[in-house]
Structure 1
Amino acid sequence: MLVVPAALAQRTGTEQLLRPQVPGYVKAFENTEADGARLWEYVPTGQTVQQWTEMLTVTASRPGLQATPHEFLGFIERGWKGACPGGESRWIREGEENGYPFALLMLTCPNNPASGKPEYTWFKGIQGADRFYVVQKAYRFAPEREQVVSWVQYLSKVQLCDTQSAAHPCPQMSPAKP
């Protein structure tokens, strides 16, 4: 079970993507593209973005990208199945949280051609006012049931809020810096 000592916030304008902090994970990479898209990658201590068995990735699309969660994650799903022979997908949940549409998708690859290893990944996509946000958890091995349950619970705690909108209120807290 994940212990959640503090929350982290990835900020883009007045929107904040809030997610529980993950003990034992370190930020291994951060990038902002010229078009404004942002990426953060976290791995367990001692691993790197080149050599990892588990990874947590957070992305915020370029400003102005408008897509529903099913459209955006569906694009990822099609690419995954095209790149991974025998790849499978399962839509876990779709709906609305804090006034924002979201979807949760699981993708599996029995043998990722890029790594030569299996890959199991869960994606939570949230449609913001001006960006699309994705938090994904990936394993390069078949995770145990308790790992799957913990990470699906983690993803259920990820939420988007807006500091300037009553329709998408942020909780009363002071998020820790990533």
Structure 2
Amino acid sequence: MSKILTAAMAALLLGFAPQAHADLKDENLLMPMPTGFSEAYTAQDGGMHMSEFVPDGENVDDWSQMITRQVFQGLRKTDPDMLPKAMQGKWAQACPKGEGQKLTSAQENGYPVSIWMFTCPMNPAANRPETMWLKVISGADAHYLVQYAHRRPVTDKMVVSTMVFLKQVSVCDTRISAQACPAGM
């Protein structure tokens, strides 16, 4: 596992610019979408908005990779480790020998950020290994979670591409110059 964590940490140190978005107002979650992914599910429950994206031709019941975006409106300036810590026990219950661990915490564009990795050697529901990385950003208007999950054995290439993707996930605010959205948005 240390080789995987080393690759993840190296990828986190790389700098990548967020993708351009038009018509931004107030606080915004910026999340690029890898080529070949489509939205497969969306839901709203009160102030929680969730979207799941899978590779073209796959669905939310049978997928090889899944990106999940969750925005908890009104959950302001909370500990970015709060939800991942709550997930740890549930993950271990759902997957024998499964575990969740914090990889790092930082400030990005003035927002507290935490990145976690959850592993499951053999997901009983899918009968495949599953690894999920989670980036949590604590905003002034909302709490933001982006997950990138894979259902196959972990490789260095997977770790690097996932960390590159998560590095591009960010929050910005058109109202605050210190947390401004990238130019041209």
Is the pair's TM-score, using the shorter chain for normalization, greater than 0.5? yes
Q: Which runs of structure 2 are paired with 1:8-157 in the superposition (5 Å)?
A: 14-33=26-45, 35-64=46-75, 67-157=78-168
Q: TM-score normalized by structure 1?
A: 0.85
In the alignment, the residues of structure 2 paired with residue 115 and residue 57 of structure 1 have an alpha-carbon distance, to the nearest angstrom, of: 17
**Matched-pair contact (CA < 8 Å) for 2:20–2:184:** no
Q: Which runs of 5+ in 1 are unaligned?
A: none
Deviates more, 1:14-23 or 1:117-126: 14-23
Q: Deviations over 1:42-100 (max 9, x none)?
A: 11111011111110111101423553111221112222122221012232110110010
Deviation at 1:126, TM superposition (A): 0.4
- Counterpart amino acid of 2:34? V
What secondary structure is seen at the aligned counterpart in 2 of 1:74? Answer: helix
What secondary structure is seen at the aligned counterpart in 1 of 2:50? Answer: strand
Deviation at 1:159, TM superposition (A): 0.6
**Matched-pair contact (CA < 8 Å) for 2:136–2:143:** yes
In the alignment, the residues of structure 1 paired with residue 141 and residue 86 of structure 2 have an alpha-carbon distance, to the nearest angstrom, of: 18
Q: Percent identity?
A: 35
What secondary structure is seen at the aligned counterpart in 2 of 1:69? Answer: coil
- Counterpart amino acid of 2:26? T
Are the structure 2 counterparts of residues 69 and 139 from structure 1 closer, same or farther at C-alpha, using a change threshold of 3 Å?
Answer: same
- Counterpart amino acid of 1:16? N
- Counterpart amino acid of 1:105? W
**Matched-pair contact (CA < 8 Å) for 1:8–1:19:** no
Q: TM-score normalized by structure 2?
A: 0.82
Aligned Cα root-mean-square deviation (Å): 2.2
Aligned pairs, how many?
A: 168
In the alignment, the residues of structure 2 paired with residue 104 and residue 55 of structure 1 have an alpha-carbon distance, to the nearest angstrom, of: 17
In the alignment, the residues of structure 1 paired with residue 88 and residue 59 of structure 2 have an alpha-carbon distance, to the nearest angstrom, of: 25
- Counterpart amino acid of 1:81? A
In the alignment, the residues of structure 2 paired with residue 80 and residue 95 of structure 1 have an alpha-carbon distance, to the nearest angstrom, of: 24
In the alignment, the residues of structure 2 paired with residue 129 and residue 89 of structure 1 have an alpha-carbon distance, to the nearest angstrom, of: 26
Q: Which has the higher helix share?
A: 2
- Counterpart amino acid of 1:101? P
**Matched-pair contact (CA < 8 Å) for 2:100–2:118:** yes
**Matched-pair contact (CA < 8 Å) for 1:41–1:56:** yes
Are the structure 2 counterparts of residues 47 and 8 from structure 1 closer, same or farther at C-alpha, using a change threshold of 3 Å?
Answer: farther
Are the structure 2 counterparts of residues 110 and 162 from structure 1 closer, same or farther at C-alpha, using a change threshold of 3 Å?
Answer: same
RCO greater where, 1 or 2, for CA within 8 Å and sep 6 or more?
2
**Matched-pair contact (CA < 8 Å) for 1:30–1:40:** yes
